[in-house]
Amino acid sequence: MTVTADSTTVGFVGLGIMGRSMAGHLQAAGYALHVYTRTRSSAQDLLDAGAVWHDSPGEVAANADVVITMVGYPADVEQVYLEPGGIVERARSGAILIDMTTSEPSLAARIAEAAAAKGVKALDAPVSGGDVGAREARLSIMVGGDEDAFDDVLPLFELMGKNIVLQGPAGAGQHTKACNQIVVTGNMLGATEALVYARRAGLDPKRVLESIGAGAAASFLLNNLGPKMLDGDFAPGFFVHHFIKDMGIAIAEAERLGFDLPGVKTALAKYEKLVDMGCREDGTQALIKAYED
């Protein structure tokens, strides 16, 4: 398949905090866009700019050469792809299906197998970078699946991200995202504990950030979410409940592979406390509340 704005129709399912921006980049590049999301109002800007609405993911698939999904949970992924009348069943011959949700490697492999039986190809391509990366089209995209399919849709990935790597066969993208989230959990714990420590020690935590944010402790999370923690800005760039889902996937996969993730389990317990505090819809930087409660 030669993917160009003149010849390729793109379907996009799931237009939340990140998906809406990602789809918008494709539309701005001239791709004809067919969309579905649970809350139609989330698609209104795209519809006003010419996107075509459909009443189900399967209808999107029936009208697109490439279908991209960015939904919430593995159960959502399984539903939109594998249920009767879903994306796989209704996909056009020769289509390429791309799930960019953070999901389970085994589910990615099942979708790829079902797609192949239908005569289409499927890629798992979870992303990292949050709402800012989605808005600025600089996501890191981790891809698993067929190399030819990856090469075909690379022009689409390049409109949404800056670091795009084919990691291996179906499921490899999801395994790589699990690695990403393992690192993120450690960074979130370290950044939060450092700022709480600074406050307890009587320091000005913003001054502390100036120093440690330019040294060996520097990280994207520290320098971008640290100030938000201190300002009490807990607006979501990435929801607490989605991060809990990601940590659960990593822990389950690690157990299947025969080892433990004690750091991730520590972070998970803290984030589950946030849910108990009513912070399910906050951004991940709300972790500081669990320490200061």
By the 8 A CB rule, do 78 and 108 touch? no
User: Residue 194 is encoded by which pair of tokens?
Assistant: 């450092």
| Three-state secondary structure of 14-69 | CCCCCHHHHHHHHHHCCCEEEEECCCHHHHHHHHHCCCEECCCHHHHHHCCCEEEE
283 DSSP 8-state letter: B
Torsion of CA 32, 79, 83, 141, to 10 degrees: 50
- State which H helix or E strand residue 10 sits in: strand 9-13
User: Residue 105 is encoded by which pair of tokens?
Assistant: 């490697």
176 DSSP 8-state letter: H
Closest listed residue to residue 20, CA positions, set 71, 75, 59: 71
The full length of the chain comes to: 293
How far apart, in whole angstroms, are the C-alpha atoms of residue 281 and residue 234?
A: 9
Q: Where in the sequence numbering do the catalytic residues fall?
A: 177
- State which H helix or E strand residue 164 sits in: strand 161-168
How far apart, in whole angstroms, are the C-alpha atoms of residue 136 and residue 15?
A: 16
